[in-house]
Structure 1
Amino acid sequence: MIRYNLPISSTAEETKVPREHVDTVFNYISHLLDTAAAGLPEIIADRSTELGRITKPIALAIKARILVTAASPLYNGNIDYTAFKNSDGAPLFNTAFDANKWKVAADACKAAIDACERTSMLLYTFSELGVTLSDTLTRQMSIRNSTCEQWNPEIIWANPSVSTYEIQRQAMPRLDPARIGNESVLGSLAPTMKIAEQFYTDKGVPMNEDKTFDYAGRLKLRTAVKAEGELIQEGYTTAAMHFNREPRFYADLAFDGAIWMMQKKMFHIESKAGQWQTRKNIYDNNTTGYFAKKLVNWKNEILEGQGLFVETHPWPEMRLADLYLLYAEALNEAEGPQPAAFTYIDKVRARAGLPGVQAAWTAYSRQPGKYQTKEGFRQIVQQERLIELAMEGARFWDLRRWKKSMEELNKPVTGWDVDQSDPVFYYRVRTLYRQTFQTRNYLWPLENWDLLNNPKLVQGFGW
C-alpha cells in the first residue's frame, strides 16, 4: 500500500514496498472515506446532469460496508492466517478476535443511515400515476422496482457507468408467445434451486422451520386454484414449494407456472420442454427452471419483429435496505439481539409484507426462541440478506466475509430437469455441476510479474 505518489526521481529500490497488515489497510481506506465525505454534498443539486456522482451518504455507506467487512470472521480472528506473514516475518492478519470492531462498524452504519435519512431516503414503495394494482401486485412492484426504478429514493448509490441492458436481456425470457421467434431476449440467467429454497414461506420464516409448511413434501406436484391467480396460473400443475411463499419469492423469481407482470400485459410462464419459455437452442437457454424476474424492468417490451425495448437503469451499487441489514448484523455481533437490531431488520421485512422477526418466529417457527440468542439471530440476519439482496451481487462477498464459502460453494448446483415435458419428470431435482472452493480462494493471488519485480511482496495465502 502506497499512501502518497512517489516522486519520479525515486529509485527502483524505493518503489519496492512490502505488504501491510490488513487492519492498516482497512483503517487507511476508512480514513480516506472520512476525508472525502467532509467535502462532499449531501444531495445532488443538479439532478439533470450530475446524478450518479458521489455524495456524503454514499461515502459513509461504503465506509460502513468496509468496516462491517473488517469486523467479519474472514478478517477478524481468522486463525487460518496464523502463518501468513510478511517478508520480514511480521504477521499480515490479527488472528485474535476483536469485539470492538463490531462496535465501530455499528457506529459507522448508524452514521450512514442518519446521513441517508437526512436527505429523505427511504425504502421504496410503488406508486405510479394512473396505475392501480391489487395489494398483491403493488407489493411485488415495490420489491421489484426497489432495484429497477432508476434514481428511486432507496438507492444510495446508482452507478451510471454500469448499464443494465445486457443483464436484463439475459434475465428476461421470451414472454410473449405471439413473438416467440424474437432472439433479443434469452432468459439464460438462471437462479439456482438453492436461491429458490432460501426464500421464506408466507409466514416469514424458512421453509424448513415453518410449522405450517410441508417441507418434506415440497417437491411433490400441486395444482393451483383460483386463489393463487395473481401468483400461479389457475389450473396449472407445479411444485408444492412454489405455493405459500413470501412476496419476494414471487417478485424476484419466475418458474414454470408463474405469473409475470409487465407494464402492458400479464404473462404466463410455461417452461417445460416444448412450451413457450423452453430451451430454443443449445447455447442460450435456462438451465434451472427459474428466471431472474427481479432484474427485469417492468417497462421492457418485446416489439414487433425482432425488436426489444429495454428500460435501462444505473446499477444499484447500494440500497438503503442493504445498509439497514448491515446495521442489524453489526448490532447483534457487538451486543447480541436488541431492540434497534429488530427495528431495522423489521423495516425491510415490512416492505416485503412480512411480520417482524419476533412475531414470526414466536408464532410459526419450530425454533421459536431462535431470535433471542446471538447465534440464532445471526442466522436470521444472514438469511434476510441472502433473500433481500438476491441476485444483486451481495452473496459473493457476504459468504466470503462470513467465512462460509467453504461450506456453501462446495455444494452441488441444482435445478429442475428442464428438458422434460411431463411434470412428473420435469420436477426432479438434478445436479448441474459441482463447485470447488478452497481456503486459498478467499483471497486472490498476486501476479507473478509483480512478485518478480518486488521481492518484498509475499504471495497471497495458499497460492
Structure 2
Amino acid sequence: MKTSIYKVFTVSCIILFSSCDSFLDVVPDNVATIDYAFRLRSAAEKYLFTCYSYLPDLGDKYKNMGYAADEFWLSNDKVWWRSWTIARGVQNTNNPHMDYWNGDGVTDLWEGISQCNIFLDNMESVPDMDQYEKKRWAAEVKFLKAYYHFYLLKCYGPIPIIDQNLPISASGDEVRVHRKPVDEVFEYVVNLIDESSQDLPIEIQDENTEYGRITAPIALGIKAKILTYAASPLFNGNTDYQGMVDSEGTALFNTAYQPEKWERALEAIDSAIELAHSVGYQLYEFELTQQTRDISDSTKLKLTHRGTITERWNPEIIWAHTNSTTQSFQEWVAPKAFNWQQQNQNSKPNGSTGVTMKIAEKYYSENGVPIDEDVTWNYGDRFGISTALEEDENYLKTGERTVNFHFNREPRFYASLGFDRGIWYGQGKYDEDNVYWLELKIGEYGGKTQTGWHAVTGYYAKKLIHFTNTNPTPKSYSAIAYPWVMLRLGDLYLLYAEAANEVKGPGPEAFKYLDLIRKKAGLNSVLESWENFSKTPSKPNTKNGLREIIQRERTIDMAFEGQRFWDVRRWKTAPVELNQPITGWDVDQKSIQGFYRERILHEQTFGLKDYFWPLQEYDLIVNKNLIQNPGW
C-alpha cells in the first residue's frame, strides 16, 4: 500500500480541525510512506511508541490537573501556568487552556487517535512478527484509542467518534463530523476496551523494557473507571444539559437516571479487582530497610502513604506513565529550605506550590472522622495556639508553638502535608531523634524570602516528594523521578465502595474495601469511628451519609494525584466545592498570631459552563456541525 503519510495527515487535519504543525515530527524516522513504517518489526515498534506518546503528561507541573481545581495554589507571578488558569476561572474560547482538542500546550488527542487508526490499519502487514505479538500490539493501541476518546469525553462531554481515518476522497459532508451522544461514546469506548483486553497479557514479560505497557489489569481497571464515570451524576440523570442538541437536533445527553449504570460499574470494578488480586497487586506497605529499621510505627504509616505514589512500581501501582516523570514537579512542591544554610545557598528546590487550607481541613482527626464532627476535637478553637509536647514528637517539633489545627490529626495529614513546626522525616535525615522540621514564618529559614519562591498557603505537598530526595549541592536537587501513577488498587477499592453504596446502600459490600483503605491509613472502620467519635453517629447508615463519607475518603486518600478535579465534576459537587474562597495562612507575617490568621487568596467561582472545556471558536467556524458547550 502506497498511501502517503502526507495524505493521511491532510485528511486528519480536515476531519479533526486540529493544529497539525507537529504531526510529521512524531512519525518514526520521518518515513515517507506508511508501508515503509510497517515494513519491519523495528519500525512498527517505533510507531507503537508514537501511539503511546500522546498520553497526557500529568507528571509535568504545567499540565497536572491538581492545579486546575482547588488542591494547589501559586503566587500571582505564575499566572501563565495553563492548568492554574482554569482554577482561576480564566478559561476562554479564543485560545482554550489545556486544549486537548487542538493540542495547544498539551498533547493533541485527536492526532493521537489518528495515529492509532493508522497503526491498526497496517499492523497486519509487518512481515517479521508472529501473530501473538501482532495481536498484543494491536490490543495495546486499541486501548490507547479508547483511552484518548475517554479523556476527550471527560474534557468536552459529547465528542465525535473517530473509529477510522477517512480516505482522501471523502466528501465535505463526511469530514464535517458531529458530536455523538455521551452514552454512545461511553459504549464505544467500553466495547473497544473489551475487544482489546482479550489479547493483552496479564502481566508484562520484561520488567526492564515493558513497564508502562498496557496489560489486561490496566484495561479492566480503566474500564471500571469509565463505567463509574458514566454512572455518576454528571452523565446519569443530569437535566442541566437537556437542551444540548447537535445541528440535526439529536440530544447529546440522556437526562433519565439509569440505576443499571451503577450495577454495570460495580460488576466491572469487581472484575478489575479480582484480576488485579490474581496477579499479586495489593495495597502498599512501607518495607523497612537498614536505613529505616528503627523507625516508629507512626513514621512507618506516614512513609506508607507517601510511598504509595513515590515508590516506583510498588505492588499497589497497576499503571504508571513511564514517560511522565516527576523530578521537576517535585522541585516545585518541595520546601526551599530545612535550615538556614539551605535558605542562604539553595536555588533548588523552589517550593512555590502551596496546598490550600480547604484541603488541609478535609483530613480527619486522629479518630478517623471530620474534625468538625469529632466530639473530642475542639473545632471552635482550631485557630488557637498550643505548644507541642513529647507525645507529639513524630508529628510536631517538641517545645515549639503551632496552631491547634495541626494537633491530633490522622496519619495521612502528617504524611501528606508539610507545615510550620511540622516534622519532616527523611530528605537525608533518617534518625527520628534528629529530623528536619519546618519554620515558615517570614524571617525564618523556610519562610517567604522573595515573590513566588514559597508556599503561598503555608502548606507543602509532602506526599508527592520521595523521602530520600536530597540537595547534594546548593544548586542541585536530587530527586527520585518516579513515573506518574495513572491507576492504583486503592483507587479501585474506593470506586467499589462508591458503586456498592449506590447499588445496595450501606452494608458489608460498601464497607469491605473502604475499611481496608482506612486500615492502611491507621484508622478504625467507618462504623466504629462514627459510632464512637462523631456528632452524627448514624451517618454511615444512610446512602446519602455514606456517599458523603466515601467521597471524603477518596478526596483524602487520593489527594494531589489529579483525581479531585474530575471527581467533583462527575459527582456534581463542584458548584459547592469550587465556589469557596481559596485560603491559607498569612505567610507575610512574622508573629505567631499574625501568621496563623486565615487569609483569602482568591474568590474561586464555578458555574455550569465550567464542567467542560469550550471548543475553540475557529473549530466551530470551520465545521458548522460542531456545537459549542453550554455557557461558552
SS of the counterpart of 2:348?
A: coil
**Residue 161 of structure 1: how far off its partner (Å):** 1.2
**1:301–1:308 CA contact under 8 A, matched in 2:** yes
| Letter of the 1:78 counterpart | N
Do residues 434 (structure 1) and 603 (structure 2) align?
yes
Please name the residue that 1:231 is paired with: 395
**1:84–1:91 CA contact under 8 A, matched in 2:** yes
CA distance in 1, matches of 2:517, 2:220: 20
| Letter of the 2:340 counterpart | P
CA distance in 2, matches of 1:370, 1:428: 32
Do residues 28 (structure 1) and 188 (structure 2) align?
yes
**Residue 2 of structure 1: how far off its partner (Å):** 2.5
**Residue 300 of structure 1: how far off its partner (Å):** 0.4
Please name the residue that 2:592 is paired with: 423
CA distance in 2, matches of 1:176, 1:145: 25
Q: Which moved more, 1:320-329 or 1:277-286?
A: 277-286
- Match among 268, 271, 291 for residue 111 of structure 1: 271
- Match among 313, 333, 356 for residue 171 of structure 1: 333
CA distance in 2, matches of 1:32, 1:338: 34
Please name the residue that 1:160 is paired with: 322
SS of the counterpart of 1:222?
A: strand
CA distance in 2, matches of 1:384, 1:7: 49
Please name the residue that 1:100 is paired with: 260
Deviations 1:259-313 (A, max 9, x none): 0011531201010111111112112221111111001001100113322211111
Do residues 373 (structure 1) and 535 (structure 2) align?
no
SS of the counterpart of 2:187?
A: helix
**Residue 425 of structure 1: how far off its partner (Å):** 0.9
- Which blocks of at least 5 consecutive residues in structure 2 are unaligned? 1-160, 430-434
**Residue 449 of structure 1: how far off its partner (Å):** 2.2
Do residues 392 (structure 1) and 561 (structure 2) align?
yes
Q: How does 1:53-452 map to 2 (within 5 A)?
A: 53-130=213-290, 131-132=292-293, 133-173=295-335, 174-180=337-343, 181-262=345-426, 264-265=428-429, 266-452=435-621
CA distance in 2, matches of 1:222, 1:370: 32
**Residue 374 of structure 1: how far off its partner (Å):** 0.4
**Sequence identity of aligned pairs in percent?**
44
| Letter of the 2:207 counterpart | R
CA distance in 2, matches of 1:392, 1:112: 20
Higher relative helix content: 2
Number of residue pairs matched by the alignment = 463
CA distance in 2, matches of 1:175, 1:119: 41
- Which blocks of at least 5 consecutive residues in structure 1 are unaligned? none
**1:179–1:304 CA contact under 8 A, matched in 2:** no
| Letter of the 1:178 counterpart | Q
**Residue 17 of structure 1: how far off its partner (Å):** 2.2
CA distance in 2, matches of 1:128, 1:316: 23
Please name the residue that 2:169 is paired with: 9
**2:471–2:478 CA contact under 8 A, matched in 1:** yes
SS of the counterpart of 1:4?
A: coil
**2:583–2:598 CA contact under 8 A, matched in 1:** yes
| Letter of the 2:555 counterpart | L
**2:352–2:454 CA contact under 8 A, matched in 1:** yes
Please name the residue that 2:154 is paired with: none
CA distance in 2, matches of 1:241, 1:14: 60
SS of the counterpart of 1:91?
A: coil
**Residue 44 of structure 1: how far off its partner (Å):** 1.1
CA distance in 2, matches of 1:213, 1:49: 51
Deviations 1:21-71 (A, max 9, x none): 110001111111111111111111100111111111111111111111111
SS of the counterpart of 1:49?
A: helix
**2:428–2:469 CA contact under 8 A, matched in 1:** no
| Letter of the 1:212 counterpart | T
**2:443–2:449 CA contact under 8 A, matched in 1:** no
SS of the counterpart of 2:381?
A: coil
CA distance in 2, matches of 1:125, 1:18: 48
**2:200–2:214 CA contact under 8 A, matched in 1:** yes
Q: Normalised by the size of structure 1, how large is the TM-score?
A: 0.98
CA distance in 2, matches of 1:283, 1:191: 14
Q: Normalised by the size of structure 2, how large is the TM-score?
A: 0.72
**1:414–1:432 CA contact under 8 A, matched in 2:** yes
**1:176–1:302 CA contact under 8 A, matched in 2:** no
| Letter of the 2:299 counterpart | L
| Letter of the 1:405 counterpart | A
**1:26–1:66 CA contact under 8 A, matched in 2:** yes
**Residue 129 of structure 1: how far off its partner (Å):** 2.9
**1:220–1:240 CA contact under 8 A, matched in 2:** yes
**Residue 85 of structure 1: how far off its partner (Å):** 0.9
**Residue 178 of structure 1: how far off its partner (Å):** 2.5
| Letter of the 2:188 counterpart | Y
Deviations 1:147-196 (A, max 9, x none): 00000000111111111011100111122433222011122111011011
Deviations 1:335-387 (A, max 9, x none): 21120210100110000000010111111111111001100000000000000
Please name the residue that 2:34 is paired with: none
CA distance in 2, matches of 1:254, 1:79: 42
